[in-house]
Structure 1
Amino acid sequence: MNAYKKIFLVVLGMLCATACGDKQAEKESVSLDAYLKDTSTGIKMGGIKVIEINTPKGKFKVWTKRIGNNPRIKLLLLNGGPGATHEYFECMESFLPQEGIEFIYYDQLGTGNSDNPNDPTFWDLGRYVEEVEQVRQALDLDQSNFYLLGHSWGGILASQYALKYQQHLKGLIISNMMMSAIDYDKYADEVLAKQMDPVVLAKIREIEKNKDFENPQYMELLMPNFYAKHILRLDPDKWPEPVNRSFSKINQSLYVTMQGPSEFGLSGKLEKWDIKKELPKLAVPTLSIGARYDTMDPEHMKWIASQIKNGTYLYCPNGSHMSMYDDQDIYMKGLIKFLKDTDAADQNRK
């Protein structure tokens, strides 16, 4: 009788453990029905929300679009350029929905589907930080759910936003962007330039010296010798359509004002940007993403994670600046893991 009693207790314990495990899994996951449910009121617009923002020169509208619904993981995407559009992030649709991760496209003022005031005084880092904060408020994002991913120029914007408003963030992702324009210039000059054919480099330098950036030879030289090696490691005629579509719409006024016309380093408003000494102020969980062939030094990207109080580093060994495409498996798995691990840690604290 005692033997049967022991067996019964063991089986009962296993059933309880399974039930508890199922409840925990249910707590951690988002059902397909919940993820696909459109919780907006009024006329449904496929997750699109146009947000009115205040600026020193009046009100303008910026475009956002939500994919999915997850009350604990909402990822706002800041694209690069400066001046490109959200469209090159469309690759996220092949990875994040199946993981139940909500993400939000957003065209910054002057880009894509948002208003373009055609006024260079708007192209200012501080003003863009305040724009992101207004977008956050309009989308009801807060510390319980708000993840911010900034790629390239978006990484500058995301990190600068975090330094001012990290109390609203649940997690931060700095993708393919060093925390110093000065170090970026140095890496471009001392590492990337020296990897180029000296004859080709001399021709590029001559064009830049003469400020002849409209010369078609400039892009003819850069595309195979720089872009296809350090921006996106594919033959240019095989670049993904979302990338080409986004880059074809780049706001040149915004790009040149902030970045400068040269592809080798910064010469615009961001020329002296450097927040390396401020990184220890960041306490929000942060993922830094670097890639072997990137225009950004992967060792610097690794260093970023060591300076932030709760930093993690993701290395893409086959990737370049657009490593969400040319090292896609590692990039996406690493991003998803960071989002879920951060959420799980937050849940365990409650």
Structure 2
Amino acid sequence: MKYFVTILFLSVFLTGSTPKKIQPGEGFVEVKGGRIWYKVVGTGKGVPLLLIHGGPGSRSCEGIPGYSTLGNDRPIIFYDQLGSGHSDRPTDTTLWQLPRFVDEIDALRKALDLKELNILGSSWGGTVAVEYMVTKKPKGVKSVIFAGPLISTPKWMRDAKILISQLPKPVQDSINKYESLHIYDHKSYMAATDTFNIHYLSRKPGPRISAPDCAGSGKGNGDIYRYMWGPTEFNATGTLKNFERTPNLHEIKEPVLFITGRFDEARPETMYEFQKEIPGSKVEIVENSGHNKIRDNPEQYLGAIRKFLNGK
């Protein structure tokens, strides 16, 4: 009888101490200013991976088909930040502050009972991720992946100038001319920015195929993008103009992967600079790819993420 009671006690104890397994599905979570939409895919037994999309003002749906292939290993959690995608779209500009976007992660963790998780922040999502790690000092984060991240606006601007200098001279001249005039809608300037995007954002030719999850999802919110960032990828004039977290990277003690494209606007050289700030962190360069790595070279990009997360 004592043996039976002991086994029963241990069974209850172990069951109660095991985190609740997150189930596939979608829904909304209340945050300051409205509701944010989320979707969970995958039935793998690993620690969940939370994806923080780029922007500001972008959406998660384009990445769902690619990242969902990691769902055999672990649950994959997508969400649209307030103001974009399937989430509510308030127009109150006081909501477009980095700390409020950071608070969305806590809201999701509480709603989904995410006691443990891995985090992947892509582009501006890397900004949210680094701010979360540095300001919140959260418990239960097993690892962080910074994918083509914005961690330092001054470094991003420096890299943009380097990349622009590698474009054809007429393209450089158009960008420099209209930047100096603060005219961002001239057809010559817009054509020049298209050239920049083809070289450094997504290099894969052909039309973009809309993901099924994008049906019914609002397009990118340009108002948030311009308010927080600026008129183009290489011209920061908004509230993120002076954003800088390089000096704080050493505060992150969790395993870290920096991953970027060979031709990414988040240049490989800069990722190695960041790596020096976090002992033991890793860098992965995705070949034949610009900033949109999951479109340009999904095999290497997702393979590197899967390898890094193995055992986490």
The Cα shift of 1:158 comes to 0.7
CA RMSD, 1 decimal = 2.3
Aligned residues with identical type, % of pairs: 29
Q: Could you say what secondary structure the match of 1:61 adopts?
A: strand
Inter-CA distance 299–248: structure 2 relative to 1 (3 Å threshold): farther
Tell me how far apart the structure 1 counterparts of residues 167 and 141 of structure 2 sit (CA, whole Å). 40
Q: Which deviates the most, 279-288 or 196-205?
A: 196-205
Deviation by residue 1:231-264 (Cα, 9 ceiling, x = unmatched):
00023x4234349x69981111110111111332
> Is structure 2 residue 221 aligned with structure 1 residue 251?
yes
**Aligned twin of 2:95:** 122
> Is structure 2 residue 287 aligned with structure 1 residue 317?
yes
Tell me how far apart the structure 2 counterparts of residues 206 and 214 of structure 1 sit (CA, whole Å). 12
The counterpart of 2:143, out of the listed 157, 171, 174, is 171
**Aligned twin of 1:92:** 66
Greater relative contact order structure (CA < 8 Å, 6+ sep): 2
**Aligned twin of 2:125:** 154
Q: Mapping of 1:59-74 within 5 angstroms?
A: 59-74=33-48
Q: Mapping of 1:293-312 within 5 angstroms?
A: 293-312=263-282
Q: Mapping of 1:177-188 within 5 angstroms?
A: 177-188=149-160
**Does the aligned pair in 1 maintain the 2:52–2:120 contact within 8 Å?**
yes
Tell me how far apart the structure 1 counterparts of residues 146 and 22 of structure 2 sit (CA, whole Å). 30
Deviation by residue 1:117-174 (Cα, 9 ceiling, x = unmatched):
111211111111112211111111123xx01111000011111111123323111110
Tell me how far apart the structure 2 counterparts of residues 136 and 257 of structure 1 sit (CA, whole Å). 27
Tell me how far apart the structure 1 counterparts of residues 36 and 310 of structure 2 sit (CA, whole Å). 29
Tell me how far apart the structure 2 counterparts of residues 93 and 322 of structure 1 sit (CA, whole Å). 13
Which consecutive unaligned segments of at least 5 residues does structure 1 have? 1-37, 41-45, 344-350
**Aligned twin of 1:113:** 86
Q: Could you say what secondary structure the match of 2:36 adopts?
A: strand
The counterpart of 1:211, out of the listed 137, 158, 182, is 182
The Cα shift of 1:70 comes to 3.9
Tell me how far apart the structure 2 counterparts of residues 256 and 152 of structure 1 sit (CA, whole Å). 16
Q: Mapping of 1:324-335 within 5 angstroms?
A: 324-335=294-305
Tell me how far apart the structure 1 counterparts of residues 233 and 173 of structure 2 sit (CA, whole Å). 14
**Aligned twin of 1:48:** 26
Q: Could you say what secondary structure the match of 1:85 adopts?
A: coil
**Does the aligned pair in 1 maintain the 2:264–2:289 contact within 8 Å?**
yes
Tell me how far apart the structure 1 counterparts of residues 230 and 293 of structure 2 sit (CA, whole Å). 23
The Cα shift of 1:317 comes to 2.4
Tell me how far apart the structure 1 counterparts of residues 137 and 113 of structure 2 sit (CA, whole Å). 15
Inter-CA distance 124–94: structure 2 relative to 1 (3 Å threshold): closer
**Does the aligned pair in 2 maintain the 1:304–1:311 contact within 8 Å?**
no
Inter-CA distance 39–109: structure 2 relative to 1 (3 Å threshold): closer
**Aligned twin of 2:18:** none
Structure with max Cα Rg:
1
Q: Could you say what secondary structure the match of 1:241 adopts?
A: coil
**Aligned twin of 1:22:** none
Tell me how far apart the structure 1 counterparts of residues 236 and 244 of structure 2 sit (CA, whole Å). 12
**Aligned twin of 2:248:** 278
The Cα shift of 1:195 comes to 0.7
Q: Could you say what secondary structure the match of 2:259 adopts?
A: strand
Q: Which deviates the most, 296-305 or 203-212?
A: 203-212
Inter-CA distance 89–294: structure 2 relative to 1 (3 Å threshold): same
Which consecutive unaligned segments of at least 5 residues does structure 2 have? 1-20
**Does the aligned pair in 2 maintain the 1:290–1:302 contact within 8 Å?**
no
Tell me how far apart the structure 1 counterparts of residues 303 and 157 of structure 2 sit (CA, whole Å). 30
Count matched residues. 289
Q: Could you say what secondary structure the match of 1:319 adopts?
A: coil
TM-score, length-scaled by structure 2: 0.85
The Cα shift of 1:209 comes to 3.0
Amino acid in the other structure paired with 1:215: H
Inter-CA distance 230–83: structure 2 relative to 1 (3 Å threshold): same
**Does the aligned pair in 1 maintain the 2:199–2:263 contact within 8 Å?**
yes
